């Protein structure tokens, strides 16, 4: 844009501290935001990113430190205070009222929605429509929030922040549940907001997003600010080094595993979404599934786990016919599923880490008559260590864990259940780059123990790294099969995106 922009700090946070009981979430973190910039907040799971965002949005109180807006010290004691200061937020965990409609979620507590005696539907509709259009959310205004998908909820939360006419928008992992095209739309939206001088704080673990969308990045580690870099003159390696405080060893995977007997075999498997899908996975093998969102990859997991009705074809587990009628039946047949939509199908926020991790195992642990807490806690210990789960104590509610650590609790659940066939749907989403390596190692170990793993991932390097073989799904059909050693990202992408020929032509 040619002309020199005058640099003005619209928001400054200095020496922010925050502790929860004995746990310090922030220990004097600082950062500053310029008008019209997109500023990334980065750091490992539990580094304090969400806590800092919540403090700036008035939903958590800092113990110490100063926040300035346009150079003036401000008190942000409530979300309303933040709104008055022009600060909006999209929470990592989202904060919608499930029983209210999409429209009501936007207008409730919104200072920009002109108050009237009767809140009528038409006024809500008129107010909300442009913002929903801006984010590309096509649902009816009267849809209850609970009926939206997680991706749609994320868009609704973004529309809500826009409708408050915020000059500063904090986005805490906004693309964690967005489909590829919705994420692209969000990036365009961000570019548009930036043009209008809106400043954005962007929290994400996705390096490519950060380097694409953000002007600067501030790295937090253990609640402290390590530094701020200009993304143009920095590198992924530099940011990672700042985040983890050391050089991160990206492991090369130990060679190909010796595969054992066939653990799972699908022949002409069909559901509402899948069209005659055939494959097998052996014990000790990691089968990678590539495909765009909507290609049927999650539906494959849903079919295997007894969620989606199977309309044709057969499944076999260890040679025996397998026709799962429910998740419970799937679990007792030794099949596990880490779902993509973890916030919906996963955690009980108010329950403890221990209770959440052992939910699926409860029948097994309590088989002898009653539940033994001691036994549960003892079984969780090694699994928690294996995942490097960061929680103060296992009886803490999961709501007190950072987002990434909440994900690990769900993984822990499946490790405890110890299924023979484990379907992992994007298991590293929301997980920091160091912990990702832990999960790769874990997948390796599980395979070495003789488990059959089906791994879905949107990140092709991750698939190429972890899988032995890769299937590509496209519109519910398998369009390519590769030995992972011979596949390239280009080959996979082309098989995932090329229009599928008519059914007869399939191999």
- Per CB under 6 A, residues contacting ligand ATP are 20, 23, 25, 43, 45-51, 92, 400-405, 432
Q: Using DSSP, how many helices (H) and how many strands (E) does the chain show?
A: 18, 20
CB of 404 to Mg ion, least distance (A): 7
Query: Which positions from 76 through 95 interact with Mg ion, judged by CB under 5 A?
Result: 92
CB of 90 to ligand ATP, least distance (A): 13
Residue 336 near which of ligand ATP, Mg ion, none (CB within 5-8 Å, type-dependent): none
* DSSP string for residues in 253-273: PPSPPPP-SEEEEEEEEE-SS
Nearer to ligand ATP, 43 or 174 (CB): 43
CB of 242 to ligand ATP, least distance (A): 14
**How deeply is 367 buried, as exposed, middle or buried, from its count of CB atoms within 10 A (0-12, 13-18, 19+)?**
exposed
CB of 25 to Mg ion, least distance (A): 10
Nearer to Mg ion, 401 or 467 (CB): 401
CB of 431 to ligand ATP, least distance (A): 8
Are 73 and 66 a contacting pair, CB within 8 Å? yes
Nearer to ligand ATP, 24 or 211 (CB): 24
Tokens 């022949």 appear where? 267
Are 107 and 128 a contacting pair, CB within 8 Å? yes
Backbone angles phi, psi at 368, to 5 degrees: -80, 5
Nearer to Mg ion, 49 or 216 (CB): 49
Residue 405 near which of ligand ATP, Mg ion, none (CB within 5-8 Å, type-dependent): ligand ATP
CB of 92 to ligand ATP, least distance (A): 6
Tokens 């997109």 appear where? 38
Distance (Å) of CA 323 to CA 267, 269, 296: 12, 11, 19
Nearer to Mg ion, 54 or 477 (CB): 54
Q: How far apart are CA 297 and CA 195, in angstroms?
A: 37
Are 313 and 268 a contacting pair, CB within 8 Å? yes
Residue 20 near which of Mg ion, ligand ATP, none (CB within 5-8 Å, type-dependent): ligand ATP
Q: What are 93's two structure tokens?
A: 């965990």
Nearer to Mg ion, 157 or 307 (CB): 157
Q: What is the CA radius of gyration of the chain?
A: 24
CB of 8 to Mg ion, least distance (A): 28
Number of amino acids touching Mg ion (CB under 5 A): 4
Q: Which residues of 59-96 are buried (b: 16+ CB within 10 A; e: fewer)?
A: ebebeebebebeeeebebeebeebbebbbbbbbbebeb
Residue 427 near which of Mg ion, ligand ATP, none (CB within 5-8 Å, type-dependent): none
Residue 231 near which of ligand ATP, Mg ion, none (CB within 5-8 Å, type-dependent): none
Are 94 and 178 a contacting pair, CB within 8 Å? no
Report the side by side order of strands in the sheet with 168-172. Answer: 87-90, 168-172, 199-203, 38-42, 216-221, 224-230
Distance (Å) of CA 55 to CA 13, 37, 214, 246: 10, 20, 22, 29
CB of 235 to ligand ATP, least distance (A): 21
Nearer to ligand ATP, 31 or 131 (CB): 31
Q: Per-residue string for binding with Mg ion, 5-44, x by CB under 5 A?
A: ----------------------------------------
Nearer to ligand ATP, 45 or 163 (CB): 45
Dihedral sign computed on CA atoms, order 426, 427, 433, 439? negative
Is residue 403 part of the contact set for Mg ion (CB under 5 A)?
yes
Nearer to ligand ATP, 61 or 212 (CB): 61
Are 282 and 454 a contacting pair, CB within 8 Å? no
Are 85 and 55 a contacting pair, CB within 8 Å? no
Q: How far apart are CA 151 and CA 476, in angstroms?
A: 21
Report the side by side order of strands in the sheet with 312-317. Answer: 277-282, 262-270, 312-317, 320-321
Residue 104 near which of Mg ion, ligand ATP, none (CB within 5-8 Å, type-dependent): none
Longest dimension (CA), the chain: 75
Q: Which of 35, 44, 47, 50 binds Mg ion (CB under 5 A)?
A: 50
CB of 436 to ligand ATP, least distance (A): 12
Q: How far apart are CA 229 and CA 234, in angstroms?
A: 6
Is residue 51 part of the contact set for Mg ion (CB under 5 A)?
no
CB of 405 to ligand ATP, least distance (A): 6
Nearer to ligand ATP, 95 or 125 (CB): 95
CB of 59 to ligand ATP, least distance (A): 11
From the list 254, 309, 313, the residue with the least C-alpha distance to 286 is 254
Q: Which stretch binds Mg ion (CB under 5 A): 46-54, 238-246, 349-357, 363-371?
A: 46-54
Q: Which stretch binds Mg ion (CB under 5 A): 45-53, 134-142, 264-272, 449-457?
A: 45-53
CB of 381 to ligand ATP, least distance (A): 18
Q: Per-residue string for binding with Mg ion, 94-133, x by CB under 5 A?
A: ----------------------------------------
Residue 23 near which of ligand ATP, Mg ion, none (CB within 5-8 Å, type-dependent): ligand ATP
Chain contacts with Mg ion (rule: CB under 5 A): 50, 92, 402-403
């Amino acid at each position: 844009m040619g002309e020199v922009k005058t640099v003005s700090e619209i928001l400054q946070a200095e020496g922010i501290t925050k502790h929860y009981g004995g746990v310090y979430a922030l220990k004097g973190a600082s950062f500053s935001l310029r008008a019209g910039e997109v500023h990334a907040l980065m750091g490992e799971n539990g580094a304090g990113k969400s806590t800092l965002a919540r403090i700036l949005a008035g939903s958590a109180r800092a113990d110490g430190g100063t926040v300035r807006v346009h150079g003036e010290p401000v008190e942000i004691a409530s979300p309303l205070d933040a709104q008055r200061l022009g600060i909006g937020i999209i929470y990592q965990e989202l904060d919608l009222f499930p029983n209210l409609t999409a429209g009501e979620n936007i207008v409730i507590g919104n200072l920009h929605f002109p108050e009237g005696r009767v809140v009528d539907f038409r006024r809500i509709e008129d107010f909300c429509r442009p913002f929903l259009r801006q984010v590309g959310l096509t649902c009816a205004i009267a849809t209850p929030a609970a009926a939206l998908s997680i991706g749609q909820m994320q868009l609704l939360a973004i529309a809500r922040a826009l409708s408050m006419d915020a000059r500063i928008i904090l986005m805490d992992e906004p693309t964690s549940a967005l489909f590829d095209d919705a994420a692209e739309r969000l990036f365009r939206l961000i570019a548009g907001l930036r043009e209008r001088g809106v400043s954005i704080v962007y929290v994400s673990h996705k390096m490519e997003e950060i380097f694409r969308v953000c002007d600067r990045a501030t790295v937090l580690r253990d609640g402290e600010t390590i530094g701020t870099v200009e993304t143009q003159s920095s590198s992924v390696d530099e940011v990672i080094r700042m985040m983890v405080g050391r050089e991160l060893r990206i492991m090369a995977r130990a060679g190909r595993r010796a595969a054992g007997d066939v653990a799972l075999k699908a022949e002409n498997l069909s559901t509402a979404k899948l069209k005659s899908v055939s494959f097998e996975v052996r014990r000790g093998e990691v089968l990678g599934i590539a495909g765009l969102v909507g290609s049927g990859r999650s539906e494959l997991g849903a079919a295997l786990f007894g969620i989606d009705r199977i309309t044709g074809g057969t499944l076999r587990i260890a040679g025996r016919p397998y026709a799962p009628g429910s998740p419970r039946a799937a679990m007792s047949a030794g099949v596990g599923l880490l779902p993509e939509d973890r916030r919906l199908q996963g955690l009980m926020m108010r329950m403890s880490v221990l209770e959440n991790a052992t939910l699926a195992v409860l029948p097994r642990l309590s088989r002898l008559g009653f539940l033994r807490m001691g036994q549960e806690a003892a079984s969780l210990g090694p699994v928690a260590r294996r995942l490097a789960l960061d929680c103060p104590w296992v009886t803490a509610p999961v709501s007190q864990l950072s987002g990434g650590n909440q994900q690990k609790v769900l993984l822990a659940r499946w490790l405890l259940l110890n299924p023979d066939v484990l379907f992992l749907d994007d298991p590293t989403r929301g997980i920091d780059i160091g912990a990702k390596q832990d999960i790769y190692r874990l997948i390796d170990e599980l395979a070495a123990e003789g488990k059959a793993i089906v791994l879905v991932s949107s990140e092709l390097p991750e698939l190429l790294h972890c899988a032995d073989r890769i299937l590509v799904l496209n519109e519910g059909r398998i369009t390519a099969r590769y030995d992972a050693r011979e596949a390239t990202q280009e080959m996979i992408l082309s098989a995932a995106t090329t229009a599928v020929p008519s059914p007869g032509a399939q191999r």
